[in-house]
A and B are shown apart, each in its own frame.
Chain A
Amino acid sequence: KAGVTQTPRYLIKTRGQQVTLSCSPISGHRSVSWYQQTPGQGLQFLFEYFSETQRNKGNFPGRFSGRQFSNSRSEMNVSTLELGDSALYLCASRTGTGTNTEAFFGQGTRLTVV
């Protein structure tokens, strides 16, 4: 069974640009969550999608947005990039949104903003 796939693995962007990251969940998983990971901050929750609907959102500015397609694949977009957006972006898929379901994480996309 294929795991969670995130593309690209590495990105270097310039301040002010925008970027789109992609996440393909495990087959059959309908929930996709996104997290930003930086040293010292742990995993910061960005948002969660289930069946193409955003169910939860973290405390990030509106420059961070996402969407989910009918095949459960999800994309995350960051506009007007800032140096502080440099981080590892992880997505996690789950079968549902219940609190008893474990998350399966992808390898992440490492974004560097210069």
Chain B
Amino acid sequence: QQPVQSPQAVILREGEDAVINCSSSKALYSVHWYRQKHGEAPVFLMILLKGGEQKGHEKISASFNEKKQQSSLYLTASQLSYSGTYFCGTATSGTYKYIFGTGTRLKVLA
């Protein structure tokens, strides 16, 4: 079951903040976040694990609510370089295969 991301698209001005949400209908072991710029490969941002462990990008933060099976990615003081499509990838219990959401297109304007 593909996780649902919201919003589908967002436009920001430089310096503004944004939150991208990812919801799953299944229990999750971990949530991964990636960013893909146009014409490029997705690039790893962050992993959030069941139990609270995180690893990833210094300037990006995220949360993982295991009970609600949700994760949120927080982009603060956005920069032009933050533009791209953000994907959450989820690993559900017992499968260890990663299912990605449909993506959130984020554009930062000067």
Contact = CB atoms under 8 A, between A and B. Distances in A.
B32 interface: yes
A107 B41 contact: yes
Contacts, number: 65
Contacts of B99: 45
Contacts of B53: 100
A70 B29 CA distance: 29
Given A99-B96, A100-B53, A105 B42 contact: yes
A25 interface: no
A66 interface: no
Interface in A69-96: 90, 92
B42 A42 contact: no
Main secondary structure of the interface of B (DSSP, over half): strand
A33 B8 CA distance: 25
Contacts of B56: 102
Nearest to B2: A42
Contact of A104 (B44, B47, B87, B89): B44
Contact of A97 (B41, B44, B96, B100): B96
Interface of A: 4, 33, 35, 40-45, 48, 55-56, 58, 90, 92, 97-108
Interface of B: 2, 29-30, 32, 34, 40-44, 47, 49, 53, 55-56, 87, 89, 91, 95-103
Please list the 10 inter-chain residue pairs (A to B) with the smallest Cβ-Cβ separation, ordered nearest first.
A56-B97, A43-B100, A42-B102, A99-B30, A105-B41, A102-B44, A99-B91, A99-B29, A105-B42, A42-B103
Given A43-B100, A56-B97, 19 more contacts: A33-B97, A35-B100, A40-B102, A42-B103, A43-B89, A55-B96, A90-B41, A90-B42, A97-B96, A100-B53, A102-B32, A102-B47, A103-B32, A103-B34, A103-B44, A103-B89, A104-B44, A105-B43, A108-B41
